[in-house]
A = this chain, B = another copy of it.
């Protein structure tokens, strides 16, 4: 495995072995000194063409726990703004000695394109509406841990609710959850569904309330306020009334059901109830597991089996 570009490239066995490795990384992260020397001397460069302090910080923390060197290439102040092409930027930074690029870009497919211009490993940290594979892996890990489903998600019922159309998280999660065996239902107003769902192994519903009692996982997506300006949503208030998680809806979930969200949350819109009050909320577990999953991904791409030596300390 050289790159991580899309969940499509991962077999169920690949996902399993990344999640197994994540178990190790969770153990490393729980130590008094949560570091191993596994990637010492490796250079991991973040290249975020869209701001996301949250995701960038998670990768940064993961790389540091493995003793890699990290560098944030601030696109805003870079030659990209002097008209340099993406290709020249990549080739130039790459020539300084880079082992992995973590890339976020507004264009679907940009990380894939970048693989042609460098020998470094490429990790897709979100490209347009297309993919966000480490989010899918951390979501799988969180469900696996939260519902104690180590081997498969067979029979699990998961609803993904919100702006499916514009969401790389939804696309990645649908692929990962169904590869693991889960049954996924998309819940959204028709304007926020993709024009065609051909090839999506999902059901669609516009009625969240009737689904609630049977769900194992309720996955809420962030609703962007921009969607209203684009007339895709009549009002946030109406969205909230039909699809927001209120205390009433939360009460209708099964006791074991998990509530998830990729963050940042819009409180009062898709998240009306305070998630701190929900026993089933694993939203902060997602964040914590995100670091461990990214450690597993970085180690898989850049490490070698004997390097891990998780008994070693820095």
Please give the residue numbers on chain A whose beta carbons come within 8 Å of chain B beta carbons, in ascending order: 29, 31-35, 40-41, 43, 51, 53-54, 57-58, 60-61, 64, 69, 71, 73-74, 77-79, 82-85, 88-89, 91-93, 95-97, 225, 263-267, 284-285, 287-288, 290-291, 314
Contacts and interface: CB of A to CB of B under 8 A. Distances in A.
A314 B41 contact: yes
Given A64-B69, A79-B264, 17 more contacts: A33-B40, A35-B41, A41-B314, A53-B74, A53-B77, A54-B93, A57-B71, A61-B96, A82-B264, A83-B264, A84-B264, A88-B263, A92-B263, A92-B287, A95-B285, A95-B288, A96-B287
Contacts of A64: 69
Contact of A79 (B40, B54, B60): B54
A267 B85 contact: yes
Given A96-B288, A97-B61, A284-B91, A265 B41 contact: no
Contacts of A97: 29, 34, 61, 288, 291
A227 to B, nearest CB: 14
A40 B314 contact: yes
A14 to B, nearest CB: 25
B60 A71 contact: yes
A95 B284 contact: yes
Copies of this chain held together in the complex: 3
Contact of A54 (B35, B40, B54, B78): B78
Nearest to A77: B51
Contact of A95 (B35, B51, B287): B287
Nearest to A30: B97
From A60, A95, A267, residue with most partner B Cβ within 10 Å: A95
A60 B70 CA distance: 11
A88 B283 CA distance: 11
A147 to B, nearest CB: 20
B32 A41 contact: yes
Nearest to A69: B64
B267 A88 contact: yes
Contacts of A225: 83
A34 B41 contact: yes
A169 to B, nearest CB: 15
26 contacts: A34-B41, A40-B314, A41-B314, A43-B61, A51-B78, A53-B73, A53-B74, A53-B77, A54-B78, A57-B93, A60-B71, A61-B96, A61-B97, A79-B263, A79-B264, A83-B225, A83-B264, A83-B266, A85-B267, A88-B263, A89-B264, A92-B263, A92-B284, A95-B285, A96-B291, A97-B288
Nearest to A32: B41
A61 B264 CA distance: 31
From A29, A83, A291, residue with most partner B Cβ within 10 Å: A83
Nearest to A91: B284
